[in-house]
Amino acid sequence: MKKSDIVVIGGSAAGLTAAITARRHYPGKKTLLIRREEQVLIPCGIPYIFGTVGAPENNLIPDALLDKNGIELLKADVGAINRQETLLETSQGDVGYERLILATGSLPTRPPIEGIDLDGVFTIQKDVAYLHELREKLETANDVVVIGGGFIGIEFADEINKAGNKNVTVIEIAPHCLSLAYDDEFCVEMEEHVRSRGITIRTSSRVQAIEGVDSVDNVLLADGSKIKADVVILGVGASPNVELATQAGLEIGIQTGAITVDRTMRTSDANIYACGDCAKKISFFGGAPSKLRLASIATSEARIAAANLYGIRRENIGTVGVWSTAVGNLAMGTAGLTETMARDRGYRIVSATVEGPNRHPGKMPGAVKTVLKLVFERNSGTILGGQVMGDATAGEIINALSACIQTRMTAEDIAIFQTGTHPALTASPIAYPLVNAAEMALGEMVVS
Amino acid sequence: MKKSDIVVIGGSAAGLTAAITARRHYPGKKTLLIRREEQVLIPCGIPYIFGTVGAPENNLIPDALLDKNGIELLKADVGAINRQETLLETSQGDVGYERLILATGSLPTRPPIEGIDLDGVFTIQKDVAYLHELREKLETANDVVVIGGGFIGIEFADEINKAGNKNVTVIEIAPHCLSLAYDDEFCVEMEEHVRSRGITIRTSSRVQAIEGVDSVDNVLLADGSKIKADVVILGVGASPNVELATQAGLEIGIQTGAITVDRTMRTSDANIYACGDCAKKISFFGGAPSKLRLASIATSEARIAAANLYGIRRENIGTVGVWSTAVGNLAMGTAGLTETMARDRGYRIVSATVEGPNRHPGKMPGAVKTVLKLVFERNSGTILGGQVMGDATAGEIINALSACIQTRMTAEDIAIFQTGTHPALTASPIAYPLVNAAEMALGEMVVS
């Protein structure tokens, strides 16, 4: 029987990072990664297959990373975990383990919409062959409907629209696209930007049915309107893939449907860890279960799980939630809680928004308007979150903000935060947004 | 006699930020800013006057900021501080104060080089008329020599070189340009980049004399070689402008020549605060005096000084040192200590350098190689500093790093730091440089 000290199930962001981290921390342990896929896609890069990067093959996680890090690869389906015998039953025979990491990811949600099984209706699967099929369909499609105006929906719509010869419509059930990711004023800016690129957005719109004979013909909304569609893409979220864990009797969280783990990423079996989309997350803010699922969360969890396999050294502080979205030259990002999220969770907040050029003087080439909004807890002054809108630097500004949040800085700390500034790279030191927004918020705060 | 509750002397980054902050924190106090200049230049933007932005007038701090914040402006020379009477003797009459903030800045160093007074030899002064004169001279110059290969020297050289019709030479006394700002491997990359743009760099070169009759003709190096020059620009640093403070009997630091302040930015007179280039700085690392002088440090100090005027609420944690440099599309930045600085100060360090594309997949448009180097204290694992090289996002990556440093994160903390990632904006979550470099360093560290 094949046997490895450490076995990781799953080859995407979480699984690969877990295996690499395991090798770094335990170079003496044999490490095996088992996955089903022939090739592994970069999950967040999937929308770009349909425009910017041109093909699934241009968006792969290279297997060279496995070789380079001394990780053995087994392409197989895992049928069951035999916890008693500490072995896996796979399509390639049994595989013994000493420590197991589950990184089985998530599966796209298939809402119970009439017509969802029609030809031409796609979910977003991390599967090269499936995405090739979607690409082929899109080549001859005139009318494309994307159901779900979250990150993925918006980015898919924009990439497909780049071809220029299609009618692309995004249908969102909420009053605004991206409303789970940004406060309304940011959502509105992105919606306007997306519309200006020729995409139709229909918000507050519920899909009643997908209609057609054999293949899709149109999408019927609850208000009776019909939108012509040759291809429908469902981007309405994903659910933890916990089939194996459930069969093996591991504890599954009721609220999240994900594998229960403690702060060390250990499951209810001391030899089994879980990380990524399949693992239960709790929020950094208050500790309630969190439904956020992102590759960057997955990799952070993977680094905790793998380092802890033979001796606990890392604890998960909870999911902060840091992400960004880019369409054309407009980028926005969030770290921590938006104002809406903070209020919904019961925080009493102070927020401040500043706006200005992201270069100095404003006449420097490349200068664009940057908007930064910070949200603080009113009494302690602790930073709860922030959102930024600007150019590509927004993607790193939220990482600076993430550091402030993870270390529980207060508005007072951020007001005297030492930043580096440069005319060609950042806003002016006199008006650096992070610092200025903190000062503004302090003006409205009674710090205890 | 004119009287104001709060008086700020100096209208550049520190003075303006101090006045704005004073108004935010003490809206009931009359605030007056006294400055000598008709118009105030953005200090870090000065090199760009000679190329990118085209004129000193395109690089001004708008006086509208004063009006908008309810700050009175007096354009006058301050001749003396009468501490007994708490008043200033100015060219426009006496001005009484309750609290005084000195933000008198720095003056360019004029090294005792023979020929420094020849026509055509310029220092870098924050003075519109003087910079106009330099611009005019440059219009007819064929050969330009910049003495000093620090930030300012390199950026001046590149901007002047953009005109395309001049021979521009940078002379640096150290073995590498920018060696006070970056470790050698980064300096070398920037030197190569600057040379590839047609600029001559001569390192390890000492200037013996500036030669000419009336106006400059050439620069004579210690090795005997002569470099033709119609214009010479001296970018060899600046010294604190402490004339007023010295006359008034305030304590001046012996090692730095700057006005002594405590952590609240108060001088030896309880009613007088100082901030910016004129104020003494101590390092965040160990607390020894620091000679760093940057606009971003000045504004942070200004926010501390002004908030403390009528009740102490902020303390300076010491100068971390965060900066960046950009030439064309290449940007680099430092936060905290470089490896060289850390070793020089006696730290036992572990460093790790990672390199990879700053987008994912690497085929995304705009992806360029990014290099990140982190330096940790070997025993505690505390982050001491980092350097990054890449595109414009480098300017914000060092701000994320600055947050990690200011909160004294360890390699273990940074290894599980929660970042946001996006294909079009950042490196991949599997290989996010900050996190990966921390993991690599941990591999070589015995964390106590």
Q: What is the 3-state secondary structure (H, E, C) of A194-209?
A: HHHCCCEEECCCCEEE
Last residue of a domain, one of B213, B236, B259: B236
Enumerate residues 6+ apart whose C-beta is below 8 A from B382: B376, B408, B409, B410
DSSP structural state of residue B312: -
Instruction: Report pLDDT for B242.
Output: 98
In a domain, B332, yes or no: yes
pTM: 0.96
Region A354-367: mean pLDDT is: 93
Low-confidence spans in chain B with pLDDT less than 50: 447-448
Tell if the CB–CB gap between A363 and B59 is shorter than 8 Å.
yes
Residue in A40, A31, A53, A68 with CA at minimum distance from that of residue A310: A31
Residues B300 and B359 grouped into a single domain: no
Residues B99 and B244 grouped into a single domain: yes
Tell if the CB–CB gap between A423 and B48 is shorter than 8 Å.
yes
Residue in A227, A216, A195 with CA at minimum distance from that of residue A138: A216
Residues B100 and B246 grouped into a single domain: yes
Sort out which chain B residues have CB atoms less than 8 A from A45's CB and list them: 360-361, 364, 423
Residues A34 and A64 grouped into a single domain: yes
Instruction: Report pLDDT for B447.
Output: 46
Residue of A151, A399, A401 for testing the chain B interface, max B β-carbons within 10 Å:
A399
Q: Which domain holds residue B326?
A: 322-442
Instruction: Report pLDDT for A446.
Output: 57
Tell if the CB–CB gap between A304 and B426 is shorter than 8 Å.
no
In a domain, A315, yes or no: no
Print burial letters for B365-390: b (CB count within 10 Å at least 16), e (below 16): eebbebbbbbbbbbeebbbbbbbbbb
In a domain, A316, yes or no: no
With cut-offs at 50, 70 and 90, classify the pLDDT of residue A21. Answer: very high
Last residue of a domain, one of A307, A331, A365: A307
Instruction: Report pLDDT for A325.
Output: 96
With residue A221 as reference, give the H or E element that holds it: strand A215-221
Question: B181, B205 in Cβ contact below 8 A?
Answer: no
Residue A393 has pLDDT above 80, yes or no: yes
Tell if the CB–CB gap between B439 and A24 is shorter than 8 Å.
yes
Sort out which chain B residues have CB atoms less than 8 A from A63's CB and list them: none
Query: Which of B17, B52, B335 lies at the smallest CB-CB distance from A420?
Result: B335
Question: B297, A418 in Cβ contact below 8 A?
Answer: yes
Print burial letters for A57-73: b (CB count within 10 Å at least 16), e (below 16): ebbbbebebbeebebee
Tell if the CB–CB gap between A45 and B360 is shorter than 8 Å.
yes
Residues A38 and A69 grouped into a single domain: yes
Sort out which chain B residues have CB atoms less than 8 A from A65's CB and list them: 430
Residue of B41, B281, B292, B422 for testing the chain A interface, max A β-carbons within 10 Å:
B422
Last residue of a domain, one of A278, A307, A336: A307
Give CA separation, B370 vs A78, B330, B394, B431, in Å.
38, 10, 8, 11
With cut-offs at 50, 70 and 90, classify the pLDDT of residue A444. Answer: confident
Give the burial class of A418: count Cβ atoms within 10 A of its Cβ; 0-12 exposed, 13-18 middle, 19 or more buried. buried
Sort out which chain B residues have CB atoms less than 8 A from A44's CB and list them: 360, 421-423, 429
With residue A167 as reference, give the H or E element that holds it: strand A167-171
Instruction: Report pLDDT for B448.
Output: 42
DSSP structural state of residue B252: B
Residues B417 and B377 grouped into a single domain: yes
Sort out which chain B residues have CB atoms less than 8 A from A325's CB and list them: 422
Enumerate residues 6+ apart whose C-beta is below 8 A from B445: B350, B376, B378, B381, B411
Q: What is the ipTM of this complex?
A: 0.95
Tell if the CB–CB gap between A416 and B24 is shorter than 8 Å.
no
Question: B98, B86 in Cβ contact below 8 A?
Answer: yes
Residues A255 and A209 grouped into a single domain: no
DSSP structural state of residue B430: G
Question: B124, B235 in Cβ contact below 8 A?
Answer: yes
| Residue B420: alpha-carbon gap to chain centroid | 29
In a domain, B137, yes or no: yes
Domain count, chain A: 3
Instruction: Report pLDDT for B273.
Output: 98
Sort out which chain B residues have CB atoms less than 8 A from A52's CB and list them: 364-365, 424
Q: Are strands A226-228 and A106-108 parallel, antiparallel or unpaired?
A: unpaired
Residue whose pair of structure tokens reads 């519920």 in the numeric block: A206
Residues A216 and A131 grouped into a single domain: yes
Question: B289, B156 in Cβ contact below 8 A?
Answer: no
Instruction: Order the strands of the B215-221 sheet from edge to edge.
Output: B207-213, B215-221, B226-228
Per residue in A247-301, pLDDT (tens digit) is 999 999 999 999 999 999 999 999 999 999 999 999 999 999 999 999 999 999 9
Phi (first) and psi of residue B394, to 5 degrees: -55, -35
Per residue in B329-355, pLDDT (tens digit) is 999 999 999 999 999 999 999 999 999
Query: CA A363, CA A236: separation in Å to the nearest integer?
Result: 42
Question: B422, A324 in Cβ contact below 8 A?
Answer: yes
Query: CA B128, CA B31: separation in Å to the nearest integer?
Result: 26
Instruction: Report pLDDT for B446.
Output: 57
Query: Which of A325, A422, A430 lies at the smallest CB-CB distance from B395?
Result: A422
Residues A248 and A101 grouped into a single domain: yes
| Residue A422: alpha-carbon gap to chain centroid | 31
Question: A308, B407 in Cβ contact below 8 A?
Answer: no
Neighbours of B228 (CB within 10 A): 14
Residue A448 has pLDDT above 80, yes or no: no
In a domain, A129, yes or no: yes
Instruction: Report pLDDT for B11.
Output: 97
CA A118 to chain B, closest CA, distance in angstroms equals: 31
Q: Is B94 helix (H, G, I), strand (E, B) or coil?
A: strand
Q: Is A34 helix (H, G, I), strand (E, B) or coil?
A: strand
Query: CA A266, CA A251: separation in Å to the nearest integer?
Result: 11
Residues A16 and A77 grouped into a single domain: yes
In a domain, B317, yes or no: no
In a domain, B6, yes or no: yes
Per residue in B164-222, pLDDT (tens digit) is 889 999 999 999 999 999 999 999 999 999 999 999 999 999 999 999 999 999 999 99
Residues A417 and A358 grouped into a single domain: yes
Question: A6, A32 in Cβ contact below 8 A?
Answer: yes
Residues A186 and A279 grouped into a single domain: no
Check which CATH number belongs to the domain holding B127 and give it. Answer: 3.50.50.60
In a domain, B37, yes or no: yes
